Amino acid sequence: MPPEFLSMVKGLFCVALLLFTVTARAENWPTKDWPGGQALSGPAVKALEDYAFPTRDDVTRKGIRTDALLVIRDGQVIYERYAAPTTATTPHLTWSVSKSIMATVLGVAFSDYRFKLKDPVARFYPPMKQHPTVTMADLLHWASGLDWQEDYEYAPLKSSVVAMLYTRGRGDMAEFAADTGTFSGPGQAFRYSSGDTNLLSAALKGMLGHKAYVDYPWTALFKPLGIRNATWETDADETFVASSYAYLTARDLARIGLLMQRDGRWGERQLLPKEWVDFNRQPFDKYRAGQDEAVPGGHWWLNREVQGATRPWPDAPVDTFAALGHWGQALYVMPAEQLVIVRYGDDRDGSYRHNELLKRVVAAVAQQVQP
């Protein structure tokens, strides 16, 4: 090979490397803490705060009761506010946001070829031999076909969740879920179920073995993202209560949001395969419009039109997706707008509306972006 050709190749390689470094540098990433961007201001922020932080009534506990609101744009904090006693350092209970965090932990296991979406759950968790054809994908779609009752407060007698968390199921939550009867074939119908998520948690334990499993959320996800203050409670069998009991500060939950916003990439590392994030964001095809407050994907909630029905949050971009939890916990991601929003709350009635909050955040950001 002529030496000129070699040096030309070398030169091109250097240019490519330089370009790559420049693009990588142009992105903002949190290190020990989040970088600050130009803070949101103006009348649109007032409208946002009027909605999210009305005078709080701790006696009747009525109305919208936001504990934390954090807005990240392009990897920088542009808005942050807390209501006492929650602060920037409070690892707040996320309730069912935990489900999407477990999905993200599973994404790392997926990238390590620990499982495939079509694998039967029983391969990793023997009590599921009662339901041998339920696959990992079915659980991720909340479509196990298990006859689960998700109601919390209004039907505590029949609630599978209450029994799982507090009474009959609390010793071994996955086994409690596996012992449920069926109402449909696996993968045929959507029914939101905390049992399905805790079966995923037990399946992950089966893939890794007990010893590696108990550290796995930290080694696989939290440490690479720089999350330092996470708690994830377990049942008596030391299986993570993936349905309900992960605790993170708003700033730390936003790191998971940024990872998802950037298609599973953290800095230069592709932590989750693109294919995994695509699965998270693909609507479950057996979901019928109106069955839930948003459209289920692979253990994340999507703002998509299905069967001609309007999208769940009409004032938010169509690519918005979210992790949602009881009493108003939410992590919203808008990839095209480069927005990540964490909202923690203590809403005891149903007055809080995702669409209303998102509309006001988008308006405040739009006002900012204009010169």
The minimum distance between CB 81 and another protein, in angstroms, equals 18
To the nearest whole angstrom, how small is the minimum distance from the Cβ of residue 200 to another protein? 19
Q: In whole angstroms, how close is the CB of 174 to another protein at the nearest point?
A: 15
How many whole angstroms separate alpha carbon 59 and alpha carbon 42? 32
Using the minimum distance from each CB to another protein, give the nearer residue, 55 or 307.
55
For residue 19, give every residue at least 6 positions away whose Cβ sits within 8 Å of its Cβ, in sequence order, or none.
none
- Scanning residues 71 to 130, which ones bind another protein (CB under 8 A)? 85-86, 90-93
**For residue 325, with 0-12 CB atoms within 10 Å meaning exposed, 13-18 middle and 19 or more buried, which class applies?**
buried
Work out whether 165 is an interface residue with another protein (CB under 8 A). yes
Minimum gap (Å) between residue 184 Cβ and another protein: 22
DSSP string across 230-290: -EE-B-TT--B-TTT-EEE-HHHHHHHHHHHHTTTEETTEE-S-HHHHHHHTSPPTT--TT
Interface with another protein (CB under 8 A), residue total 29
Which residues ranging from 303 to 322 are in contact with another protein (CB under 8 A)? none
Angle at 145 between CA 140 and CA 150, to 5 degrees: 80
Which of 170/286 has CB closer to another protein?
Answer: 170
Q: Are 108 and 271 in contact (CB under 8 A)?
A: yes
Q: For 54-64, b where at least 16 C-beta lie within 10 A, e where not — what string?
A: eeeeeeeeeeb
- Shortest gap between Cβ of 157 and another protein (angstroms)? 5
Could you say which of 179, 218, 263, 289 contacts another protein (CB under 8 A)? 218
Q: How far is CA 204 from CA 72, 104, 113, 174, 242, in A?
A: 31, 12, 12, 11, 11
For residues 122 and 129, give the distance between their C-alpha atoms in angstroms, rounded to a whole number: 5
Cα 164 to Cα 142: distance, rounded to the nearest angstrom? 17
Choice from 167, 188, 219, 351 touching another protein (CB under 8 A): 167
Q: Out of 157, 350, 370, 371, point to the residue binding another protein (CB under 8 A).
A: 157
Could you give the CA distance from residue 159 to residue 154 in angstroms, rounded to a whole number?
A: 9
Q: Is 71 helix (H, G, I), strand (E, B) or coil?
A: strand
Residue 164 found at the interface with another protein (CB under 8 A): no
For residue 219, state whether it binds another protein (rule: CB under 8 A).
no
- Tell me the per-residue interface mask from 48 to 67 with another protein, x by CB under 8 A, - otherwise: ----------x---------
Report which of 178, 225, 224, 179 is spatially closest to residue 201, judged by C-alpha positions.
Answer: 178
Per CB under 8 A, contacts with another protein among 229-288 are 230-236, 245, 247
Among 175, 196, 346, 347, binds another protein (CB under 8 A): 346
Residue 168 is a binding residue for another protein (CB under 8 A): yes
Residue from 163, 270, 317, 363 touching another protein (CB under 8 A): that is 163
- CA–CA dist 113, 104 (Å, integer): 14
Interface segment toward another protein; rule CB under 8 A; list 29-37, 49-57, 226-234, 254-262: 226-234
* Residue among 315, 320, 319, 276 at smallest CA distance from 299: 276
Whose Cβ is closer to another protein: residue 168's or residue 274's?
168
Binding of another protein by 162 (CB under 8 A): yes
Contact residues: another protein, CB under 8 A: 58, 85-86, 90-93, 156-158, 162-163, 165-168, 170-171, 218, 230-236, 245, 247, 346
